[in-house]
Amino acid sequence: MMNDTMEDQKGFTTTILHSDRLLKPEFGALHQPVHTSVTWGFEDVQGLVNVFQNKAKGYAYSRQGNPTTTALEHKVTQMERGKATVSFSTGMAAITATIQSLMKAGDHIIASSFLFGNTRSIMQTYADIGISFSFVDATNVENIKNAIQENTKMVFVETIANPATQIADLAPIGDFCAEKGIIYVVDNTMTSPYLFNPIKVKASLVINSLTKYIGGHGDALGGSVTDTGLFDWTSYANIAQVLREQIKPDMLGITQIRKRGLRDGGGTLSPEAAHTISVGAETLALRLERACHNALTLAQYLENHDMVSKVYYPGLSNHPQHALAGNLFKHYGGLMSFSLKDGIDLFAFLNRLQLVVKSSNLGDTRTLAIPVAHTIFFELGAASRAEMGIPDSMVRLSVGIEDTDDLLQDFRQALEA
């Protein structure tokens, strides 16, 4: 007989599959229904007052959440082995809410210089309104230590960087942040909770773009922030006094993110998208097993091809953080990049690919390819791209779950034409 403690004992996929059912939806439903109600009515007005005053669990207005998003948040919390999760309309909404809810003008954030482009870009916007940033090479904890200031309140890194697949010095950075009492935010999108749980490296908050591997089918946008429970919010200066009076100490951080990010910021996940993402998440482990296998196979094939000048993939033994990736992650991920040798027409090559879709998303079931310098890193300009080691001939591949031989055959015909 399965019970409410099943999540503590069962494996990753079993836990997700049975998560909704254990919340006991009506009529024995196996999926949490899509609750489209914007507002919630109460027989006794005291019930409404209690929800507003944080004295009772419940829903008042769906901008702050509804049972469908709650069920998804519960799944993400279980996947990340965390304490609590807030969901958002997109991964970017989750990131902006995290910074906006916890920082004040005059605070300082140390961030990886290899961040997702839009994350880097929103940080530049926050710099304009008074939060300061140091961007450092996060593959070495010494660079983080050297950037610390008296007003440093947050360190923000990603697990595997996109597109060049650098891996942050995750565990030593976690030790350093814990020692200094700094909020440690890890964007786990590229690895997903199936390959890695940032709680293992002492992350305070874990970001996931649910749009990518967790939803996994390129059919719904979403994002999340999970509190691992490791950070002590009671001594954190930027927690609102009114929350300190109403909320349990361990829930202060995530509650402030929900109030400021959803209630005030309004980046709320729709119940329809929450349902789509929830169903997608049921096969996260199965999809990633196949995608990671396909990616490693393709990386090894491309590495040995004489039209390819370089392959960026943590699963290759010449990757600078190959050993680190092997120690931390279950597999090496579904994202890889490669560059072609000089003189080869990049666009003609991409146009010869027949299965692989020319597209900007990642974490889809289908394999997607994009020329990096001309698209996602175009706005940066040639000088910054050169500084970041992004050659003009770089292709980023988000490897999908197609049959391995079909993928190999598509690359073979496109490279050898």
Ligand X SMILES: *Cc1c(COP(=O)(O)O)cnc(C)c1O
Which one of residues 66, 85, 87, 90 is an interface residue with ligand X (CB under 6 A)?
90
Residue 116 sits in the site that holds ligand X (CB under 6 A): yes
- Phi, then psi, of 210 in degrees rounded to 5: -70, -15
Q: Which is nearer to ligand X, 357 or 408 (CB)?
A: 357
Q: Which is nearer to ligand X, 62 or 112 (CB)?
A: 112
- Phi, then psi, of 185 in degrees rounded to 5: -105, 125
Query: Which of the ranges 42-50, 89-97, 132-140, 286-294 carries the binding residues for ligand X, by CB under 6 A?
Result: 89-97
Shortest CA distance to 74 belongs to which of 22, 126, 26?
Answer: 22
β-sheet bridge partners, residue 183? 154
Residue 85 sits in the site that holds ligand X (CB under 6 A): no
Please tell me the total number of residues recorded for the chain in this structure: 417
Q: Which is nearer to ligand X, 158 or 402 (CB)?
A: 158
Of all residues in the chain, what percent are helix, strand and coil, respectively (each to 5)? 45, 15, 40
Query: Which of the ranges 29-37, 90-98, 234-242, 276-284 carries the binding residues for ligand X, by CB under 6 A?
Result: 90-98
At residue 87, the 3 state secondary structure works out as: strand
- List all residues 6 or more positions away from 359 whose beta carbon is below 8 Å from its beta carbon: 368, 369, 370
Which one of residues 7, 73, 107, 187 is an interface residue with ligand X (CB under 6 A)?
187
Residue 364 sits in the site that holds ligand X (CB under 6 A): no
Residue pair 205/82 in contact by the 8 Å Cβ criterion: no
Query: Which of the ranges 88-96, 294-302, 322-330, 400-408 carries the binding residues for ligand X, by CB under 6 A?
Result: 88-96
CB of 214 to ligand X, least distance (A): 10
Could you tell me whether strands 183-187 and 205-209 are parallel, antiparallel, or unpaired per DSSP bridges? Answer: parallel
CB of 223 to ligand X, least distance (A): 5
Query: Which of the ranges 28-36, 96-104, 187-195, 270-278 carries the binding residues for ligand X, by CB under 6 A?
Result: 187-195
Q: Which is nearer to ligand X, 221 or 370 (CB)?
A: 221
DSSP letter string, 310-365: EEE-TTSTTSTTHHHHHHH-SS--SEEEEEEPTT--HHHHHHH-SSSEE-S--S-S
- List all residues 6 or more positions away from 360 whose beta carbon is below 8 Å from its beta carbon: 368, 370, 375, 376
Structure tokens at 182: 């700094």
Query: Which of the ranges 62-70, 205-213, 231-239, 406-414 carries the binding residues for ligand X, by CB under 6 A?
Result: 205-213
Q: Which is nearer to ligand X, 165 or 233 (CB)?
A: 165
Q: Which is nearer to ligand X, 122 or 408 (CB)?
A: 122
Which one of residues 65, 82, 163, 223 is an interface residue with ligand X (CB under 6 A)?
223
Residue 192 sits in the site that holds ligand X (CB under 6 A): no
Residue 103: what residue type? M
Q: Which is nearer to ligand X, 92 or 97 (CB)?
A: 92
Residue pair 35/70 in contact by the 8 Å Cβ criterion: no
CB of 198 to ligand X, least distance (A): 13
Q: Which is nearer to ligand X, 353 or 362 (CB)?
A: 362
Beta-carbon count within 10 A of 409 CB? 13
Residue 189 sits in the site that holds ligand X (CB under 6 A): yes
> What x-and-dash track marks residues 152-171 binding ligand X by CB under 6 A?
------x---x---------
CB of 248 to ligand X, least distance (A): 29
Cα four-point dihedral sign 265, 271, 277, 281: positive
β-sheet bridge partners, residue 206? 186, 226
Q: Which is nearer to ligand X, 87 or 411 (CB)?
A: 87
Positions in the binding site for ligand X (CB under 6 A): 90-92, 116, 119, 158, 162, 187, 189-190, 209, 211-212, 221, 223
